[in-house]
DNA sequence: TCCATCATGTAAACAGTTACATGATTGC
DNA sequence: GCAATCATGTAACTGTTTACATGATGGA
């Protein structure tokens, strides 16, 4: 998929995509900032939602530049040009707007989870496979939770307050999913033998 | 965004996208099933992740047909042809594979929430706007929770077991987000006056 | 008669994706 | 000298998106 959320924007002078606003916010947090640094930030983030591929980021930065939201300061680096970006006043204005209530409705309703989607349709699998699926989902969720917790509590690393809060939120979401998956497994076990779920 | 998750598939004879597998599962649940019915199912779902636009669904069904995963039975409807789809044996096989462990890693790590993303960068907004943002996010999340709860508990409607479980999961996720947002607001209130967060 | 809904589809635009190419710097 | 990483980018592809067109059916 090209799997981006277009913020429902038809016309020229259109809204920004989520990734565009997000990159703008990353830039604001540590300007001046190169495309490569943005990519590293994104791929170190907790979700696999964006791949942070070069093919996404470089054209995106050009778009932001064309809209006058960022400006590059260029410097030589061997034979190549190194471009570090800063927000313009217009960029800062957009960033504040992005963080302004009211949130668009789609952003609130936007809960998607490939694991939950599969559970939704798990009836289509035979019982043994249902159990195997849950065992795997639980094990993998536990593993990723461990990773995120140790990242958050790593000694010597201090995250900015809101970033730490965001990371806690992601962890709590995974904890909720884990409880939910365990409850399903328990229910499946009880149902075993005495027929259907 | 064209905001689809390509299941990291380059070659011909490639993997299915999430939406393709999802549509296959919908078909399996209520075959024979028209494109329009698939669209209604998708747009009645709990997330705004897929818009279920005609431009997405009709070509997708043609792709599934070309791969031999579904087959249409045609019937006349005025001057038009009505096409209702059924899974083939190959389609059923793919569906079982989709529901087979191990889950791909990206599917586990795939937690994305536009609200959380914005909180992540909320430092960029002045304190008053931070509070306004949280008030709005809380109110809107409460509203959508109410809607989902009443849908799940609507008298006379009985969901298939796994669909009911999936809906419970989505609700629990939103409840977790709500608790998290309230905690942030409380923390912001305490921090007020005595400086930074 | 008109309108909402059911229903089938197409066209153009677009932001992602993978894959590839290339050069600089640092440390072994 | 070599490999890993830092760094900048392009090219082709693709599954979405919005917007539009059109026809059938049923009820007010």
Report d(CA B125, CA B105) in Å as an integer: 34
Report d(CA A85, CA A65) in Å as an integer: 9
> Do B123 and A169 meet the contact criterion of CB atoms below 8 Å apart?
no
C-alpha distances in Å from residue B186, one per residue of A22, B122, B128, B135, B154: 26, 15, 14, 11, 33
Q: Chain A, 142-161: which have a CB under 8 Å from a chain B CB? A: 144, 160-161
Per-residue pLDDT tens for B43-101? 888 788 888 899 999 999 999 999 999 999 888 777 778 899 999 999 999 999 999 99
Q: How far is B114 from chain A (nearest CA, A)?
A: 6
Report d(CA B115, CA A103) in Å as an integer: 8
Report d(CA B185, CA B39) in Å as an integer: 38
Per-residue pLDDT tens for A69-124? 999 988 887 778 889 999 999 999 999 999 999 999 889 988 889 999 999 999 99
Give the nucleotide nearest to A39 (CA→C1'): D7
Nearest to A1 among B17, B114, B197 (CB): B17
> Do B118 and A99 meet the contact criterion of CB atoms below 8 Å apart?
yes
Q: Helical H runs in B30-126?
A: 35-43, 54-66, 89-98, 105-109, 114-120
The pLDDT of residue B158 is: 87
Q: B8 pLDDT exceeds 60?
A: no
Per DSSP, the three-state class of B174 is: helix
Report d(CA A57, CA B126) in Å as an integer: 28
Report d(CA A64, CA A94) in Å as an integer: 11
Q: B3 pLDDT exceeds 70?
A: no
Does A196 sit within 8 Å of B48, measured CB to CB? no
Q: A3 pLDDT exceeds 60?
A: no
Q: Chain A, 24-43: which have a CB under 8 Å from a chain B CB? A: 25-26, 28-29
Q: pTM score, two decimals?
A: 0.89
Report d(CA A112, CA B50) in Å as an integer: 9
The pLDDT of residue B68 is: 92
Q: What are phi and psi of A125, to 5 degrees?
A: -100, 150
**Å from A79 (CA) to D2 (C1')?**
22
- Among all chains, which residue has been given the structure tokens 């990242």? A151
Q: What one-character DSSP code corresponds to residue A48?
A: S
Does B163 sit within 8 Å of A120, measured CB to CB? yes
CA nearest to B19, candidates B31, B7, B34: B7
Q: What one-character DSSP code corresponds to residue B100?
A: P
The pLDDT of residue A5 is: 45
The pLDDT of residue B195 is: 64
Residue nearest to nucleotide C19 (CA to C1'): B10
Summarize the confidence of residues A50-55 as an average pLDDT. 90
- Among all chains, which residue has been given the structure tokens 């006043």? A89
Residue nearest to nucleotide C22 (CA to C1'): A80
CA nearest to B37, candidates B90, B85, B109: B85
Does B101 sit within 8 Å of A135, measured CB to CB? yes
Per-residue pLDDT tens for A158-193? 889 999 999 999 999 999 999 999 999 999 999 876
Nearest to B115 among A46, A108, A114 (CB): A108
Does B115 sit within 8 Å of A121, measured CB to CB? no
Per-residue pLDDT tens for A94-108? 999 999 999 998 899
Mean pLDDT of chain A: 88
Q: Name residue A70's beta-bridge partners.
A: A87
| Interface probe, candidates A2, A3, A168, chain B, greatest B C-beta count within 10 A | A3
Report d(CA B159, CA B14) in Å as an integer: 34
Q: Is the CB of B59 under 7 A from strand D?
A: yes
The pLDDT of residue A115 is: 96
Report d(CA B69, CA B88) in Å as an integer: 5
> Do B68 and B47 meet the contact criterion of CB atoms below 8 Å apart?
no
Sign of the dihedral through C-alpha A73, A89, A30, A5: negative
Q: B7 pLDDT exceeds 50?
A: no
């Amino acid at each position: 998929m090209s799997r981006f959320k277009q913020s429902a924007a038809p016309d020229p002078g259109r809204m920004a995509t989520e990734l565009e606003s997000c990159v703008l916010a990353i830039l604001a947090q540590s300007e001046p900032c190169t495309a490569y640094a943005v990519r590293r930030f994104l791929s170190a983030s907790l979700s696999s939602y964006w791949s942070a591929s070069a093919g996404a980021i470089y054209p995106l930065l050009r778009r932001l530049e064309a809209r006058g939201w960022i400006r590059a300061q260029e410097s030589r680096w061997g034979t190549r040009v190194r471009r570090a970006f800063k927000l313009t006043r217009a960029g800062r204005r957009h960033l504040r707007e992005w963080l302004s209530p009211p949130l668009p409705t789609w952003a609130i309703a936007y809960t998607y989870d490939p694991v939950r989607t599969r559970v939704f349709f798990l009836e289509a699998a035979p019982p043994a496979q249902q159990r195997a699926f849950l065992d795997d989902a639980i094990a993998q969720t536990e593993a990723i939770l461990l990773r995120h917790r140790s990242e958050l509590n790593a000694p010597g690393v201090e995250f900015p307050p809101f970033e730490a809060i965001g990371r806690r939120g992601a962890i709590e979401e995974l904890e909720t999913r884990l409880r939910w998956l365990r409850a399903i497994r328990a229910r499946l076990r009880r149902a075993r033998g005495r027929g259907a779920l």
